[in-house]
A and B are shown apart, each in its own frame.
Chain A
Amino acid sequence: MVRPHIATIGKVVRHVTRLRGGGSAFPGLVVEKIDPHFTRDVLAALPHGVVIISGTNGKTTTTKMTVELLESQGFKVFTNRTGSNFARGVTAAILADIDYSGRLDADIAVLELDEAHAVKFVDVVSPRYSLLLNVMRDQLDRFGEIDTTARMLAHIAQATTKTVVLNREDPRVAPIAETLPDSVESEFFGLDTKLRAKFPSDDDLHSTAKDIEARDADVILKSFDGNTAVFRFDNNEVAVPLKLRGIYNIYNAAAALALTRTIALEHYNKKALLEALGNVEPAFGRGETLLLDGQPIELVLVKNPSGFRLALESFPPIGYATMIAINDNYADGRDMSWLWDVEFDSLRTPGVAQVGGIRAYDMALRLQYDEVETIAVDTDISNALSQFISSNPDSPKRIYCTYTAMLKIREQLGKITEVEKVL
């Protein structure tokens, strides 16, 4: 039972913190100090429980899609959409949404959680559903080894009470199905055989197509052409025009579809589902497009080698001016080794117009070894961005950026054009 006064205190602290320009974690901290069970109790009251989405790449986009797909099925959804993908951030998000009596007006919570935070979170709140996307090399300086990350996902799955949705194509994720208790179901989303080569997996297990296809997938991405994707489910192939860009986002749509179908059951409305899918816009920094002086600027977040490789494969460079911004703050990962696991040959024509960020010279050095021409380098992101814009006034632009570089770029762009407020 949630005591209403806790909710009130939390909301007041949140309000004061925001007035003072503070972050999203502090009010959560205060509430946890007063009532350590606050988050668990509020979420336990939701009729359809809690969904956790985790994995290395695509959490934010997939969470956003799942929320919109569930809404199309008539669910009232609570989510941590501020990007606070850690436990205290969830508490803070709850405080923003609950009423003063301590009730969250929602049917279900869909939470995006970082692997390491999700592990601790599920020990307090048992998710009814979980969706595990992939395990790739990401911020290994934080988690240690890729096998450790896989064990974290298995832990989340084992804490799930009803259904776990798994990526059939990831050899570290799919076998988690075999570790679940009998009372818990597993569902898969997957790729058609001929698409598999387009998704470089960060793995050395070399599963064969036969091994992979031994598992039945509820939703399969069959093919895509430009922005239209063909999914197979309910024994039918359905072509859906999408606003999402990039093949990895489209595969995430298969994940969100499988998860939503699992949850919706008796509410299932296929027509509304497909309509919602066609309307999902990319999450911020995941291929979102801004307009500046009549020219589009695309922001593409890159966090790890596999994500960067997929992004380069998704967005042909011809006709675009390209900028790459690399920071090495804690949230980006301090180790620059990952840049050497990405091939940049595809950028050789027309080259890279601008490199920016704290580690701009590491990036320029990386491009030198792939014999890609770099026109300008500046470690100051604001300078790099202004230079990039003024030197390429007449072309569409694309910026690949690490997390903190993206925040800085959005802040700068916000001064000169319309940028959606997300934080």
Chain B
Amino acid sequence: MTAEKRTLTIVQLYPDDMNIYGDWGNVLTVLKRAKWHGLEPELINYNVGDKFPTHVDILIGGGGQDSGQLKVQDDLQKIAPRLRELAENGTPMLMICGLYQLFGRFFKTQKGNIIEGIGIFHAETHAGPERLIGNITTHSEQFGDIVGYENHSGQTFIDSDMQPLGKLVRGAGNNGQDETEGCLHHNAIGTYLHGSLLPKNPAIADFLIEEAAKKRFGDFTPTVIEDRFAAKAREIALKRPR
């Protein structure tokens, strides 16, 4: 049997403007794990004004400062129909912090201005009175404990027809009130967790890769990856002060 070349196209959304607190760690983890699982990942960076790639297997977007969100908002509306179609078709996505907020319906700033989102997540975000900062742990049946670090002032409320990514174990989560964190809709994940998220939560990285591979090639055979360092790093992160 000749080995068939299995290319996986990873698109990083707005790395020039929305890329802070180790967002590169998530992209790197998907690229490396896809390779270790025997796939051939290719990375496309999509920035404001670029031509949107014709094919996307995994879409990853990061956090940004308020100024970054302002810079991308018009472009995001332009590509919104494509993004919604991809999400509805089950394309795996990971949106952290700032882009998680804009993948909801809107972000309402401290001054009451509305930054329109694209509504993939049925959720809305309101600027909060304080930054929610610190180590955070959540739990999901699908992924087990999820560990990371949150740093946001927006408070996100997801609609009742949406599933959170995890239930809060410690930390503030979506809004500091309802014990939820993030959002999982089809195969699109939105979350506030940095840290970076994927290296210390390889189950989520492998979920994105597996869903993408199955969707493109019909099947996926994982390789056993040595995750000893990740396991120890998780164990320690769980015990560190907020």
Within 8 A of A (CB), among B131-149: 131, 133-135, 149
Encode B108-148 as 1/0 by CB contact (under 8 A) with A.
Answer: 00000000000000000000000101110000000000000
Are A337 and B25 touching (Cβ within 8 A)?
Answer: yes
Are B24 and A340 touching (Cβ within 8 A)?
Answer: yes
Are A361 and B233 touching (Cβ within 8 A)?
Answer: yes
Partner of B32, one of A335, A338, A339, A369: A369
A144 within 8 A of partner (CB): yes
A362 within 8 A of partner (CB): yes
Instruction: Give chain A nearest CB distance to B75 CB in angstroms.
Output: 15
B40 neighbours in A (Cβ, 8 Å): none
Instruction: Give chain B nearest CB distance to A304 CB in angstroms.
Output: 11
Are B65 and A334 touching (Cβ within 8 A)?
Answer: no
Instruction: Give chain A nearest CB distance to B96 CB in angstroms.
Output: 10
A328 neighbours in B (Cβ, 8 Å): 240
Instruction: Give chain A nearest CB distance to B204 CB in angstroms.
Output: 15
Are A145 and B199 touching (Cβ within 8 A)?
Answer: no
Are A335 and B195 touching (Cβ within 8 A)?
Answer: yes
Partner of B22, one of A144, A147, A340: A340
A240 within 8 A of partner (CB): no
CA distance A341 to B194 in the complex (A): 12
B196 within 8 A of partner (CB): yes
Instruction: Give chain A nearest CB distance to B111 CB in angstroms.
Output: 16
B28 neighbours in A (Cβ, 8 Å): 340, 369-370
Instruction: Give chain A nearest CB distance to B182 CB in angstroms.
Output: 16
| CB-CB nearest in chain A for B226 | A368
Are B232 and A337 touching (Cβ within 8 A)?
Answer: no
Are B241 and A147 touching (Cβ within 8 A)?
Answer: no
B16 within 8 A of partner (CB): yes
Are B229 and A365 touching (Cβ within 8 A)?
Answer: yes
In the complex, how many residues of chain A place their beta carbon closer than 8 angstroms to a beta carbon of chain B? 31
CA distance A166 to B226 in the complex (A): 48
A336 within 8 A of partner (CB): yes
Are B194 and A337 touching (Cβ within 8 A)?
Answer: yes
A77 within 8 A of partner (CB): no
Are B229 and A334 touching (Cβ within 8 A)?
Answer: no
Q: Please judge, given known A-B contacts A147-B65, A369-B28, whether A341 and B22 are in contact too, CB under 8 Å.
A: yes
CA distance A366 to B68 in the complex (A): 26
| CB-CB nearest in chain A for B193 | A337
Are B151 and A147 touching (Cβ within 8 A)?
Answer: no
Are A336 and B195 touching (Cβ within 8 A)?
Answer: yes
CA distance A364 to B149 in the complex (A): 18
A379 within 8 A of partner (CB): yes
Q: Please judge, given known A-B contacts A340-B199, A365-B199, whether A335 and B241 are in contact too, CB under 8 Å.
A: no
A-B contact pairs, 27 of them (CB 8 A): A137-B20, A140-B21, A147-B66, A328-B240, A335-B151, A335-B194, A336-B195, A336-B237, A337-B149, A339-B22, A340-B22, A340-B24, A340-B25, A340-B196, A340-B199, A341-B22, A358-B236, A358-B240, A359-B233, A362-B233, A364-B232, A365-B229, A369-B25, A369-B28, A369-B29, A369-B32, A374-B229
Q: A-B pairs with the 8 shortest C-beta distances?
A: A340-B25, A337-B22, A340-B22, A361-B233, A361-B232, A337-B21, A365-B229, A335-B149
